[in-house]
Structure 1
Amino acid sequence: MHTNQFEFEPIKKDSLVVELTKRLLDYIFSGSIQPGEKLPTERQLQDALNVGRSSIREAIKVLNVLGIIEVRQGDGTYLKKLDSGFLLESIEWGLLLGERNLIDIIEARKVIEVSIVKLAAERGTEEEIKELWTILESLKESSTEEFVEIDVAFHLKLAEMARNTVFRSIFLSIQSLLRTWIKLVMKDVTDTNFSYTDHLNIYLAVSKKDPEGAMAAMEAHMDDASRRLMEVMNEKERGK
């Protein structure tokens, strides 16, 4: 890779590691480097970004932990082959990449889930509706620890009922995001009834084959889940 293939503007913010990580991600996603290719050296990044070597190493460490790059001792740092879902493996990236990134993720999930539930209400069979009810009942009786997987199973069943391979594939790719999202929201919760009620309203609309009602119920659920997630994230940020 030639050194003249990348350019950066100097960083002036105090939070160097966060800003460096964001800048490196922007560089990666710009298409300037392809999976399997070598990233600029620490010295090249240091000169281009006008920051210390230790800050560069910390940012590289973050990307390595997140599974985006591979550090080969004595050889250099390489961009890993990335699948469509890797960016969403941890909702905690919202803290790392900033509030705008978190809001984008929330908006995207809402659009996906509302579209899925509309098709599920239109296309779901009676047998599938019974299966959805079974999952819902398990949700009601679950512990907080069990809640996460059952919650994800409920949304996955809706994706299957939608009978759209693209939506199902998208949903499968964001399972990690859902798990982390739900874990964060439910971490300190002792009563899960509020979430059960949201899922019950979704089920009732789907069971009546009411697409509009299902979409409204899902929107309400997404709005509530998003609000709770933002509250958790804001608390985390204040606690730093």
Structure 2
Amino acid sequence: MINADGLKSGDKIPSERELSERLNVGRSSVREALRALELLGLIETRRGEGTFIKDFQNHQLVQLLSTFILQDEKAQLDVFETKCMIEMDSLRLFIKKMNKESIKSLKEYLSSDMIEDGAFFNQIVQMADNHLLYKIWVILKDYCQAQGSEQSKSYKEDYAELLKGLERNDEEKTLSAYRELRKLSTDL
């Protein structure tokens, strides 16, 4: 209905009665659905004014849903592997799209005393310029951190080797350095 009616953030949605008639369901069902949407932060009710669509561009709905999806034990085991696959694909994309500025940015980051793996790969995945890949990666990274299943400590030299491969536009060297960084077999 939101798409069909062309509603956007800040627009008022129809009343419970109108929704009930339009959707051909009982008002209690509509009320329950609206309450759930409000709890998720997708709509807001203003007393005496009505119910309005909130700006949910940066909403955490995907992260919330991932909490339920990742309850399965097999899915939990696959999270790290999937995160690594996304990072490797992001490295491939980065090689195709990189420029002097992106390499300079990574070099500057590696020149600092503190290297944090998530921050380093955040730059890589963002510069790979695939928004969906980035969103999925953030969820997986956050999940790994929350579960304490992030990889073991890496050293500055490991990231420097990765950067060398990127600078040379050498996908094979880059991915080899990545596998070494993550302590992965060549199967992945």
2:13 alignment partner, SS class: coil
Change (3 A) 1:127 1:155: closer
1:55 pairs, out of 21, 26, 29, with 29
2:47 pairs, out of 70, 73, 79, with 73
Residue 184 in structure 1 maps to residue 143 in structure 2 = yes
Distance 1:49 1:219 in 2: 52
2:20 pairs, out of 18, 34, 46, with 46
Distance 2:176 2:4 in 1: 37
Give deviations 1:11-47, integer Å, cap 9, x for gaps: xxxxxxxxxxxxxxxx334563132221121122223
Distance 1:214 1:77 in 2: 55
Partner of 1:34: 8
User: Of the two, which has the highest radius of gyration?
Assistant: 2
Task: Tell me if structure 2 keeps the 8 A contact 1:42–1:57.
Answer: yes
1:158 pairs, out of 119, 124, 142, with 124
Task: Tell me if structure 2 keeps the 8 A contact 1:205–1:213.
Answer: no
1:71 alignment partner, SS class: strand
Distance 1:127 1:178 in 2: 20
2:44 alignment partner, SS class: strand
Structure in which a larger fraction of residues adopt helix: 1
1:74 alignment partner, SS class: coil
Measured after TM superposition, the shift of residue 185 of structure 1 is 2.7
Task: Tell me if structure 2 keeps the 8 A contact 1:63–1:69.
Answer: yes
Change (3 A) 1:58 1:155: farther
Partner of 2:90: 113
Change (3 A) 1:203 1:214: farther
Distance 2:103 2:86 in 1: 24
AA paired with 2:163? V
Consecutive unaligned residues in structure 2, runs of 5 or more: 70-81
Distance 2:172 2:146 in 1: 30
Consecutive unaligned residues in structure 1, runs of 5 or more: 1-26, 98-105, 140-149, 225-240
Q: CA RMSD in A?
A: 4.8
Distance 2:44 2:60 in 1: 18
TM-score (norm 1): 0.46
Measured after TM superposition, the shift of residue 207 of structure 1 is 2.5
Moved more, 113-122 or 64-73: 113-122
Partner of 1:100: none
Measured after TM superposition, the shift of residue 217 of structure 1 is 7.0
AA paired with 1:113? S
Measured after TM superposition, the shift of residue 134 of structure 1 is 4.7
Partner of 1:146: none
2:147 alignment partner, SS class: coil
